[in-house]
Amino acid sequence: DVRRAADSDKDALGFFPSGVYEEFARKGQLYVASIQDGDEFRYAGHLLFDCRCPRSTVLQMFVAGECRGRGVAKLLLRHLVDSLTAHGFISIYARVAEDLLSANRFWEQNSFYVQRVERGGNSRKRTILVRVRELESAQLFSSSGLTPANPLGLSGERSAELPIFLLDLNVLFDVGPRRPKHQAVESLYHAERMNYCRL
């Protein structure tokens, strides 16, 4: 069921050989959600991920069409976050094509901010948003404090002295609405208007 579901949307999920799912299932890195219907269990969705301590990467997340809007993806992701946090992992990464709008909305709503932008493969020439969520596990160093709502990691506490930042001119060019980093730059100017910093 997992293989069939993954192959049904290769445009969004990419392609993995069938043996990959068995290998990751044996390693405990494939979560499958199911819905009970009487004595039967039906496939509802899956989450395929790779773990290389202290970071994890989501390779695939898929929810069957008839199960969308029921919180299946959130349930799978919450289970992953809880499990990795308990095992001392510091972050989860997800590579999402920029044109997959609903997928990007899901990751942003679940505290995955855009860490960097990369070029995709030559065949599709997509732009890939590398998203990350920092976990609240016990760590030697505290997390960066970056979130979609606070992309600069600025403290909400105001002090008498405002910090001053020097910006490259390219950051100013990103104010344009069609630039890839438009939202991040918009947040920066919003931070200035709130007197968190001075530009």
pLDDT (0 to 100) of residue 70: 93
Residue found by looking up tokens 């929810």 in the block: 63
pLDDT (0 to 100) of residue 156: 63
- CA–CA gap between residue 88 and residue 138 (Å, rounded): 6
- CA–CA gap between residue 40 and residue 147 (Å, rounded): 41
pLDDT (0 to 100) of residue 67: 92
- CA–CA gap between residue 6 and residue 63 (Å, rounded): 10
Question: Over the chain (199 residues), what is each successive 10-residue block's mean pLDDT?
Answer: 88 82 95 93 96 93 92 96 94 94 94 91 87 85 68 66 72 73 80 77
pTM of the predicted model as reported, rounded to 2 decimal places: 0.70
Q: Alpha-carbon torsion 135, 159, 149, 191, what sign?
A: negative
Specify the DSSP class assigned to residue 162. P
pLDDT (0 to 100) of residue 155: 65
- CA–CA gap between residue 60 and residue 48 (Å, rounded): 5
pLDDT (0 to 100) of residue 92: 97
Question: How many CB atoms within 10 Å of residue 73?
Answer: 22
Contact in structure between 50 and 29 (CB atoms under 8 Å): yes
pLDDT (0 to 100) of residue 61: 94
pLDDT (0 to 100) of residue 100: 92
Specify the DSSP class assigned to residue 69. T
Strands 127-134 and 113-119: antiparallel
Question: In sequence order, what are the residues at sequence separation of 6 or more whose Cβ sits closer than 8 angstroms to the Cβ of residue 103?
Answer: 12, 61, 96, 97
pLDDT (0 to 100) of residue 14: 78
Residue found by looking up tokens 């899901």 in the block: 106
- CA–CA gap between residue 195 and residue 197 (Å, rounded): 5
